[in-house]
Chains A and B, each alone.
Chain A
């Protein structure tokens, strides 16, 4: 499941929790406590999600509610900061923590499920761009550079809107349940009134409105796949895609471990994909991949070191074998159309792969891992009259012609991908970030339209906030 799927699930769970509020009171005090904890957990995880989307804490997380209230009223800071402050304030409670029991009532269970779904979505983001660490994948680099940020914040704003609707009904729910609940949880009722008082609602409306039609790239994110170990063949397009992405991510994380064998196999796989993809598929620049593959094929160098490096080379080989046309192979039974579709999906990875390989080529050349044939020199056996022309291998310099040809061909792949689909990122964003989402941008708006979270965003925009209403 993708990041977008998990957010949609969270939205559905919150909608159900809201629908259950009038008819499903908690029976025991512990149940009320567990439901209140689940509510706080949802807010805490939404705040965490904001940190992951923007690549850090927009503000300190320990500011007291009074100060946050003033900040929201005075519209201090940008919308993201105010959302974050509101979420962190809502996640904190003046009440002592309730016992760690699972909620029994439907409202609590739906809140708990929503919190879990948001946590999984957060883990997917953290898998690409972990907090306070370098991004682990090209998509992570893109997220740090701001890819999909507006739409990502709008998604969080939609879920916050769901929570605000629940908070609006929470005081009544508390008073309608266990006879002691309202007294015991009076502070929670006050907190719920505070969050749903209108100022946070205004912030979420502005965030959703700011996102406009920006493509929700983050919806596409899946957990980064690990490099599979020990298999002998790839049987379908989805496995080939996972494998290509996993090997690309490994080479991104370990540019110093990339050797000629990886470069040769990766460029060959990319050449096969680009030669078989639909004409015009983004990333399917077969001319540049042809130049890159043939340049890499002429290079020699040190072999891969360590099991992970060897496994990565094997996986690239398996991808090439799956893509390669002609002889029968596992997966050959798939129809021509679905196979082409799978190859087009592989082509979408090629722009970012080219940049990962270009960086790895530079690193390998700097680390003196490439060999080239040196000038031929005349040598003779002592006392013999016959001279032999002998060429010796020598370590290639980064500016050697063969290395340069490979680098420039890989750079050309990236350039053509960016020329066909200009990036939405700022000009100063890293090239890899721009290439990471070079392909799916066009496809995304339709996917966004299908998602529950996208529909919810449009619904939120179509109904005025209570705060706006009161102003009028």
Chain B
């Protein structure tokens, strides 16, 4: 599976299930992070987005779920406009998901605050890019 297809599938899954399914959310964040593990980062704004994704991952999920996120081809290049657009879409969907999750009363207060902060930061990083 190539990187864009994996991103599109992740968007669909997060839109369907929301981020309360933490395994899906983690998988989405990890998939997005894959784009930043090579030095092909186009600009400082992109690097900042990569930082926010990585920080969200380590802060929200200090104990990583036992999942492996792998893509077989063209795995991390964000030099193409299509990949950039798809990645931004995934981050926006994740941001919206965290925003919605922060409003759900069944989620613990501490977690809701963490979700709200993550949503705010991801959205701010995306705003810097578009």
Name the residue in B50, B117, B120 with the highest tally of chain A Cβ atoms < 10 Å from its Cβ.
B50
Q: Which residue of B lies closest to A285 (CB)?
A: B39
Is there a chain A Cβ closer than 8 Å to B47's Cβ?
yes
Q: Give A320 to B51 CA distance when docked, in angstroms.
A: 10
CB nearest to B30 among chain A residues: A298
A271 touching B50 in the complex, CB below 8 Å, given contacts A297-B57, A373-B68 = yes
Which of B34, B36, B39, B40 has most A Cβ within 10 Å? B39
The verdict on A214 contacting chain B, using a C-beta distance below 8 Å, is no
Interface residues of A in 285-330 (CB under 8 A from B): 286-291, 293-295, 297-298, 320, 324-327
The reply on B48 being an interface residue by CB < 8 A is: yes
Interface membership of A423, Cβ < 8 A: no
- Name the contact of B55 in the complex, choosing from A268, A289, A412 (C-beta under 8 A): A268
User: Do A291 and B38 contact each other (CB < 8 Å), given the known contacts A297-B54, A320-B55, A326-B124?
Assistant: yes
Given contacts A274-B47, A275-B47, A276-B48, contact A325 B38 (CB under 8 A): no
Contact of A268 among B37, B45, B51, B120 (CB under 8 A): B51
| Most interface-central of A286, A288, A298 (chain B CB within 10 A) | A286
Q: Which residues of B contact A276 (CB under 8 A)?
A: 44, 48
Asked if B58 CB lies within 8 Å of chain A CBs, one says: yes
A286 and B47 contacting across the interface, CB-CB below 8 Å: yes
| Interface bits B32-67 vs A (CB < 8 Å: 1, else 0) | 011011111100110110110011011000000000
Least CB distance from B98 to A in Å reads 14
In the complex, chain A residues whose CB is within 8 Å of the CB of B120? 326-327
Docked Cα-Cα span, A291 to B117, in Å, equals 25
Complex CA gap A289/B39 in Å reads: 8
Looking at chain A's contact residues, the main secondary structure is helix
Q: B75: CB under 8 A from chain A?
A: no
Interface centre among A268, A287, A298, A412, by most chain B C-beta atoms within 10 angstroms, is A287
Asked if B44 and A275 make an inter-chain contact with CB atoms under 8 angstroms apart, the answer reads yes
Residues of chain A with a CB closer than 8 A to B89's CB:
none
B-contacting residues, A373-390, CB 8 Å: 373
Checking A268, A324, A391, A405 against B58 with a beta-carbon cut-off of 8 angstroms, the contacting residue is A268
Q: Name the one of B33, B41, B51 contacting A287, with C-beta atoms under 8 angstroms.
A: B41
A267: nearest chain-B partner, CB-CB: B54
Closest to A264 in B: B58
- Asked if residues A275 and B39 are in contact (CB atoms below 8 Å), the reply is no
Contact with B along A395-421 (1 / 0, CB 8 A): 000000000010001001000000000
Inter-subunit contact A294/B47 (CB<8 Å): no
> In the complex, are the beta carbons of B48 and A294 less than 8 A apart?
no
Q: Which of B37, B38, B40, B55 has the most CB of A within 10 A?
A: B37
Q: Determine chain B's interface SS by DSSP, over half rule.
A: helix
Q: How far is the CA of A290 from the CA of B41 in the complex (A)?
A: 8
Known contacts A264-B58, A268-B58; is-contact A298 B47 (Cβ 8 Å): no
The residue on B at minimum CB distance from A271 is: B51
Interface size class of B (residues with CB under 8 A): 20 to 34
Q: Which residue on A lies nearest to B45, using beta carbons? A: A275
* Closest B residue to A270 using CB positions: B51
Residues of B within 8 A of A264 (CB): 58
In the complex with contacts A264-B58, A287-B39, A272-B51 CB distance below 8 A: yes
In the docked arrangement, what's the CA distance between A287 and B50, Å? 10
The contact size tier of chain A is 20 to 34
Task: Say whether B39 contacts A412, CB under 8 Å.
Answer: yes
Flag whether B121 is at the interface (Cβ < 8 A).
yes
Output the least CB separation between A391 and chain B (Å). Answer: 7
Residues of B within 8 A of A325 (CB): 48, 124
User: Does A279 touch B at the CB level, under 8 Å?
Assistant: yes
Find residues 237-286 in chain A having any chain B CB closer than 8 Å to their own CB. Answer: 264, 268, 271-272, 274-276, 279, 286
**A294: nearest residue on chain B (CB-CB)?**
B37
Q: What chain B residues lie within 8 Å of A290 (beta carbons)?
A: 36-37, 39, 41, 47, 50-51
A residues in contact with B41, CB < 8 Å: 286-287, 290
- The CA-CA distance from A294 to B37 in the complex, in Å, is 5
Contacts of A275 in B (CB 8 A): 44-45, 47-48, 50-51
Contacting residues, chain B, for A268 (C-beta < 8 A): 51, 54-55, 58
In the complex, the answer to whether B39 meets A294 with C-beta atoms within 8 Å is no
A271 to B45, CA, bound (A): 11
The answer for the CA separation of A286 and B44 in the assembled complex, in Å, is: 6
A361 to chain B, nearest CB (A): 15
Q: How far is the CB of B60 from chain A (nearest CB, A)?
A: 13
CB nearest to B39 among chain A residues: A287
* Contact partner, B68, options A288, A320, A324, A391, Cβ 8 Å: A391
CB-CB under 8 A from B39, the residues of chain A are 287-288, 290-291, 409, 412
Give chain A residues whose Cβ lies under 8 Å from the Cβ of B117. Answer: 327
State which of A271, A320, A327, A409 has its C-beta within 8 Å of the C-beta of B47: A271
Interfacial chain B residues near A326, Cβ < 8 Å: 120-121, 124
20 of the cross-chain contacts (CB-CB < 8 Å) are A268-B51, A272-B51, A275-B48, A275-B50, A275-B51, A279-B44, A287-B41, A290-B37, A290-B47, A291-B36, A293-B54, A295-B37, A297-B58, A298-B37, A324-B55, A324-B121, A326-B120, A326-B124, A327-B121, A405-B37
